[in-house]
């Protein structure tokens, strides 16, 4: 209850947690069998407070494989966010599976992970038909971009309803012993671009390299609607179990708002 004269503090919307289960499949694929199954991970995430499942079907199928997608979709009611490169092959797969969302990411075969943001500004003509065809199929398109004004402008031109701001530079700065100043710079960029996106009617998400130690300043950015977190959560799950890892990340995110 609010008392007269005391301003009512509106609680910000719940920040969604999308759990990227790719690296359960990485461990599975190391032995070429069926265990550990990313579907089981998706079911645990669904049971313990995750809001979505994120999976990246890479061109080389190094973790998630084609047949995993339908199995994940059948196993839980959580929305599936399919991370995909902007290729005809991936477009056809997305149109076949119709995930809730498709996050278009840059992909280089030799990279260990998605190292930079998508150059939405420089690739408008290549991306426009892919964004349009996904959108026409009822799939919510997100663009994984660096937190830069020109990329937000490009997302507007492409009519993307969502951008996911790449937090990799922020995460790197957090790892640097003397990175305090750079952490503040990177955090400011992400906060400013979340605000700009929201002002322009684009829903901002964020992800990459987020951990228990660095998630809270990001989770505190009020415009952000969703974080997608994978590698660290799956790594922690080895020690404490996936349920505990997801619940703890959830608590940290809630406490930051």
Residues lying near ligand PXP in the complex (CB under 6 A): 20, 22, 56, 83, 103, 105, 113-114, 144, 164, 207-210, 228-232
Q: How far is the CB of 57 from ligand PXP (least distance, A)?
A: 11
Of the two residues 181 and 216, which places its CB atom closer to ligand PXP in the complex? 216
Closest contact distance (angstroms) between CB of 83 and ligand PXP is: 5
Give DSSP secondary structure letters for 201-252: TPEEEEESS--TTTHHHHHT-TT--EEEE-HHHHHHHHHH-HHHHHHHHHHH
Q: At what angle do helices 231-240 and 22-31 cross, to 10 degrees?
A: 70
Q: Is the peptide bond before 36 cis (omega within 30 degrees of 0)?
A: yes
Question: 222: which 2 tokens?
Answer: 């009020």
Is 56 one of the catalytic residues? yes
Active-site residue, from 63, 166, 205, 208: 208
Q: Is the CB of 1 or the CB of 110 nearer to ligand PXP?
A: 110
Q: How far is the CB of 229 from ligand PXP (least distance, A)?
A: 5
CA nearest to 43, candidates 246, 231, 235: 246
Catalytic residue among 56, 63, 166, 205: 56
Task: Pick between residue 22 and residue 68 the one whose CB is nearest to ligand PXP.
Answer: 22
Cβ closer to ligand PXP: 76 or 230? 230
**Is 231 tagged catalytic?**
no
Catalytic hit among 83, 164, 169, 226: 83
**Long-range contacts of 182-186, Cβ-Cβ distance < 8 Å, separation of 24 or more:** none
Question: What CA–CA distance (Å, rounded) separates 113 from 208?
Answer: 9
Residue pair 130/175 in contact (Cβ under 8 Å)? The answer is no
Shortest gap between Cβ of 171 and ligand PXP (angstroms)? 7
**Does the annotation count 83 as an active-site position?**
yes
Provide the annotated active-site residues.
56, 83, 208
């Amino acid at each position: 209850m609010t008392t007269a004269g005391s301003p009512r503090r509106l609680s910000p919307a719940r920040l969604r947690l999308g759990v990227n289960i790719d690296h359960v499949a990485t461990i599975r694929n190391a032995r070429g069998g069926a265990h550990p199954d990313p579907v089981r991970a998706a079911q645990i995430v669904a049971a313990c407070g995750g809001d979505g499942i994120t999976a990246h079907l890479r061109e080389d199928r190094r973790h998630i494989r084609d047949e995993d997608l339908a199995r994940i979709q059948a196993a839980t009611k959580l929305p599936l966010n399919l991370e995909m490169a902007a290729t005809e092959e991936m477009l056809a797969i997305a149109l076949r599976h119709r995930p809730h969302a498709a996050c278009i990411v840059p992909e280089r075969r030799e990279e260990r992970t998605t190292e930079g943001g998508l150059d939405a500004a420089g690739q408008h003509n290549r991306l426009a038909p892919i964004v349009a065809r996904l959108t026409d199929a009822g799939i919510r398109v997100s663009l994984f971009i660096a937190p830069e004004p020109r990329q937000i402008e490009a997302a507007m031109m492409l009519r993307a309803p969502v951008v996911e701001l790449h937090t990799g530079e922020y995460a790197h700065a957090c790892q640097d012993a003397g990175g305090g100043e750079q952490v503040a710079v990177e955090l400011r960029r992400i906060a400013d671009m979340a605000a700009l996106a929201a002002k322009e009617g684009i829903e901002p998400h964020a992800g990459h390299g987020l951990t228990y130690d660095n998630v809270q300043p990001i989770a505190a950015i009020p415009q952000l609607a969703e974080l997608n977190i994978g590698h660290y959560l799956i790594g922690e799950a080895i020690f404490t179990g996936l349920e505990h890892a997801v619940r703890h990340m959830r608590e940290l995110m809630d406490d930051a708002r």
